[in-house]
Structures are given as structure tokens and as C-alpha cells.
Amino acid sequence: MISLDDPKKFRPLRDQAHQVAMNMLRPISRKYDKAEHAYPTELDMLASMIDGLSESGAAEGAGAAGVRRDEAPEKPDTSGTKNGANLASVLSIAEMCWGDVGLLLSMPRQGLGNSAIASVANDEQHARFDGVWAGMAITEPGTGSDSANIQTTAVLDGDHYVINGEKIYVTSGDRADAIVVWATLDRDLGRAAIKSFVVPKGTPGMRVDRLEHKLGIKASDTATIIFEDCRVPKENLLGSADVDPKQGFAGAMATFDNTRPLVAAMAIGCAKASLDLTRELLEKAGVVIDYDRPAITQSAAAAKFLQMEADWEAARLLTLQAAWMADNREPNSLEASMAKAKAGRVGSDITLSCVELAGSLGYSEHELLEKWARDSKILDIFEGTQQIQQLIVARRVLGLSSAELK
């Protein structure tokens, strides 16, 4: 059974991540918010440290983890439960985003494409792409959050797949070593034919068309990438090339079972940063938050703060549950979407409410509250919007298919 306390073995990792966030990310947060598209060179040293910890086995979950339920645990867990890389990842990512979301998304070799590789790749591909920094290209013009309606095609030609299409809003699209591209082998076969391909940077036929100017996470580059007769070795198709209509979209969607809790963790970390600073500002203003009294008997500011903390805790627990289920090889698609929906909405609500509670201090650049409110909004949008997550949850709760509930 899941425990509501952070596992003891992960507390050092969590605390280390918090120290990194406080001492390395926070000090340069505003710098790279203003210098949009400039690469944060300070992250190179941090990435090397994480690589070293991962290689030594001292930092389980420090990197991008994957959900591979086809594998049996290496050792039987006699306790009946396991706290593994997925839970460690959400704990460390939440702490890092307490520092800065955009900088976390800019970390070398920690891209969302790495989670796709970890979730879908076979053993040979895991070894071959080890150490590669991979972005992930899903969204297209006209498809939005409907990942099953992907129009980018991949046609087998001898020993290569030829990819044609356009991808937008690709995180780390210009900086990453490779891009994991979602494309369909045959549009007539529907979602079952959608596969993911690792396309190395510099591959002929792949070009970055532009970098987007954004509301938040300005430290992270977000690119539009065009694929024109881009030839990729067929060995770079992640997982199996077989199209199984019975499996449907499950192979590709396994990636989301991992990445959605990670995005939820980002929202939790950013919201916690806002709560911590707002508490300090309220205390300086003489607002007392009393946990022994009903909220209705306290000031409006204190009551609002208590409500935000309760919402934050609910989102945090849903996220831990989704990650814990993945570690224990339990299907977590429903829980992953619930965590993403709750944390995304709560994150936006909390960061904006903290701006309001802090008044002029919250709205000005004197504090980071306004930045966190801008950064947080994307966490309610990418990896599936709020509305898409609610639709997924409704389908699974009601037992309806995508055709039955649109």
C-alpha cells in the first residue's frame, strides 16, 4: 500500500534537488527569463553531475524514467510494494521546478523524448541511445491535443523510413541531440499505425523552421520542425514496427503514462514556490495563518491560503499515486491523467492567486511571483490540455471508447 510520506531512500535525492534549485537555478531564473532563447550554460555542469550520479547508481530517478510493464522486476519485492525511478523522478523534478521550470526543461539529456525512449525502446535501442538528449515532437498544426490524428507520415523505403510532416511546440527542438517524432505508418489504419522514431540532429530533410516567443518558460527553446523526405534508419523506430489494431494506440500512449506525472510534478513544484514566498510576504504584512482555527473565522487572505494549500496537497498525492503505480507495474493511465489534470489546474490557480494576494509585489518583477504565474500556465496545456485530460478520465471512469465519448 502506498505511504503518504516521501520514501526514506529518496529523501537525500529530494533534498539535493532542493539545494540545486535554491543555489543554482533560482539565482539565474530572472536572467534567462529576460534572455529568451539563450542557452543556460550553467546547466552543463549540473547535467554532468547528474550523469555521474546516475552512472554510480546513487541517484535513481535523477534522469528521465520510463514505464515498461512488460518487464519483471529484477528482484522479487517481498514487501509487496516498490518505490522506484518514477516516484524518485517526480520528487526530484518537483524540487527542481521549485527553482525554475524553464531551466529544468532545458536540462541536457533530460528531455521528454528521453522518457519516450525509456518507455517504448527495446533493449538494443536503450543501449544505442544512452546519453542522447532527446526532445519529443507530437503536436502538429490542426491536430492540437488530438495525438491520434497525427498527419506526419513515415513510409518504409528499403532500410529507411521517409518522414514528411510538420511539428510545432517541440521543447528543446533546437538544442537536443535527437528528436523523437510521432508519425503514422498508414493513415488508413488509424491510431494503431502511429509509431515514434528517433531522428538525430542534422539528419538531411529535418530543419528547425523557427523558435517560438512564449508567455513563460522562456529559458526553454520551443521549436517548429519541418520534415521533408527525411530518411531515418528503420532501426530507429522505437519498439515494434508491427501494426496491431487490437493494441490500438497503447504502445505510443505508454509514453504519456510516464510523462504526465512528470508534468504534474513540475506544476506542483512551481506552485509550492509561490506558496512559500506568499506565506513569507503575508507574515511580513501581519497576516496570521492559523491551522487550529476554521478558515471561515480567519482573514480572507488566510482563508484563501489555506484553501490553496489543500488543493496543492491533493494534486501532490495524485501525482505520487500515479508514479508509485508505474513503479509497481500497475496500469496508471487513468491516474496519470487525473494527476496531470488536477496539478495543471491547481498550479495555474495557485500561482495567479499568489500574485493577487501579494498585490503590487506580486505583479511587479521585484519578486518571481509573476514569472511563476506565467511559467505555470504551460503545465496545464502541454502533454495534453486540461480538457483532454478530463475527457480521458471520463472515458475510463464510464467505460466508454473515444468514438462513444468525444
CATH number, residue 30: 1.10.540.10
List CB contacts of 384: < 8 A, sequence separation 6 or more. Answer: 145, 147, 256, 260, 337, 340, 392
Domain boundary residue, one of 177, 201, 236: 236
* Structure confidence at residue 243 as a pLDDT band (50, 70, 90): confident
Q: Residue 406 has what pLDDT?
A: 85
Q: Residue 337 has what pLDDT?
A: 96
Q: What is the mean pLDDT of the segment spanning 262-285?
A: 97
CA atoms of 115 and 67, how far apart (whole Å): 8
Q: Which of 164, 221, 220, 169 is nearest to 197 (CA)?
A: 164
Q: Which of 92, 116, 86 is nearest to 104 (CA)?
A: 92
List CB contacts of 115: < 8 A, sequence separation 6 or more. Answer: 64, 65, 66, 136, 255, 258, 259, 262
Which region among 60-74, 120-134, 270-284 has the lowest average model confidence (pLDDT)?
60-74
> Which tops the pLDDT comparison, 239 or 53?
239
Are 145 and 337 a contacting pair, CB within 8 Å? no
Q: Residue 162 has what pLDDT?
A: 98
Known catalytic residues are 383
Q: What is the mean pLDDT of the segment spanning 167-194?
A: 92
Domain boundary residue, one of 108, 128, 148: 128
pLDDT at 247 over 90: no
Are 24 and 32 a contacting pair, CB within 8 Å? no
Q: Residue 245 has what pLDDT?
A: 65
User: Does any domain span residue 1?
Assistant: no
Domain containing residue 47: 8-128
User: Over the stretch 373-392, which tens digit does the pLDDT of each residue have?
Assistant: 999 999 999 988 999 999 99
Q: What is the CATH number of the domain that holds 323?
A: 1.20.140.10
Which region among 25-29, 250-254, 378-382, 394-398 has the lowest average model confidence (pLDDT)?
250-254
- Rank 4-18, 109-123, 349-363 by mean pLDDT and report only the highest: 349-363
Give the number of domains in the chain.
3
Q: Which amino acid is at 64?
A: A
User: Does any domain span residue 58?
Assistant: yes
How much of the chain exceeds pLDDT 90, in percent?
72
Q: Residue 251 has what pLDDT?
A: 56
Same domain, 256 and 347: yes
User: Does any domain span residue 255?
Assistant: yes
Q: Give the relative orientation of helices 250-284 and 112-120 as an angle to the nearest 10 degrees.
A: 140
CA atoms of 24 and 43, how far apart (whole Å): 9
Same domain, 54 and 181: no
Are 116 and 255 a contacting pair, CB within 8 Å? yes
Residue 180, all three cell numbers: 523523437
Same domain, 211 and 118: no
Q: Residue 250 has what pLDDT?
A: 58
CA atoms of 25 and 42, how far apart (whole Å): 9
The DSSP secondary-structure symbol of 376 reads: H
**Residues paired with residue 181 on neighbouring β-strands, in sequence order:** 137, 197
CA atoms of 82 and 84, how far apart (whole Å): 6
Same domain, 288 and 226: no
List CB contacts of 358: < 8 A, sequence separation 6 or more. Answer: 277, 278, 281, 367, 369
User: Does any domain span residue 245?
Assistant: no
How much of the chain exceeds pLDDT 70, in percent?
89
User: Does any domain span residue 340?
Assistant: yes
Q: 3-state class of 169 per DSSP? A: strand
User: Over the stretch 57-95, which tens digit does the pLDDT of each residue have?
Assistant: 554 544 455 545 455 444 445 456 688 888 999 999 999
List CB contacts of 329: < 8 A, sequence separation 6 or more. Answer: 69, 73
Same domain, 295 and 376: yes
User: Does any domain span residue 272?
Assistant: yes
User: Does any domain span residue 12?
Assistant: yes
Are 335 and 393 a contacting pair, CB within 8 Å? no
Same domain, 255 and 392: yes
Same domain, 64 and 85: yes
Are 303 and 296 a contacting pair, CB within 8 Å? yes
Are 67 and 86 a contacting pair, CB within 8 Å? yes
